[in-house]
Amino acid sequence: MTIKIAAMKIPYGGAKGGIKLDPSKYSEAEIERVMRRYTIELCKRGLLSPSLDVPAPDINTGPKHMAWIKDTY
């Protein structure tokens, strides 16, 4: 992920991580709750910060999901 984002000159980077779920089986409100809780857990473990790891959008994520992470952080 770091190399992919660096090649595109986008100011994101860090490790690859995610949540395994089929988004077609959940409502948008449920997905939002999962995303926000995932963000809280990353923060509690010290794995998310502007100087350490900034998540980048990837498969099945976009601006809406990144906004949920930003708001929760």
**Which residues are identified as catalytic?**
16
Question: Token digits for 14?
Answer: 């860090």
Ordered DSSP codes for 15-62: --------GGGS-HHHHHHHHHHHHHHHHHTT--BTTTBB----TT--
